[in-house]
Amino acid sequence: MSETPEIKQQLPEREKKIADNIAIKLGKDVLGIEIKPKRIKVKIKYKCIKKAANYFKTELNLDHIVSVSGVDYPNDNEIEVVYHAGTYERKDLRDLLIALAYRIPRENPKTQTLIDIWPSIEYDERETHEMLGVFFEGHPKLEKLFLPEDWNDKPPLRKDFKNPGR
User: Which tens digit of pLDDT belongs to each residue from 92-151?
Assistant: 999 999 999 999 999 999 999 999 999 999 999 999 999 999 999 999 999 889 999 899
Distance between CA atoms of 30 and 52, rounded to whole angstroms? Answer: 9
Beta carbons within 8 Å of 85's beta carbon, 6+ residues apart: 56, 62, 64, 65, 66, 97, 98, 99, 100, 118
Distance between CA atoms of 35 and 85, rounded to whole angstroms? Answer: 15
Phi then psi dihedrals of residue 103, to 5 deg: -110, 145
Phi then psi dihedrals of residue 133, to 5 deg: 85, 20
Beta strands in the chain (DSSP E): 30-36, 39-44, 64-73, 78-86, 97-105, 110-112, 135-137
CB 68 within 8 A of CB 125: yes
Q: What average pLDDT score do residues 51-74 get? A: 96
Beta carbons within 8 Å of 36's beta carbon, 6+ residues apart: 12, 15
pLDDT bucket at 2, cuts 50 / 70 / 90: low
Question: How much is the pLDDT for 162?
Answer: 87
Residue at 28: amino acid letter: K
Pick the CATH number of 13-109 from 2.60.40.10, 3.40.50.150, 3.30.460.80, 3.40.50.300: 3.30.460.80
pTM flag (> 0.75)? yes
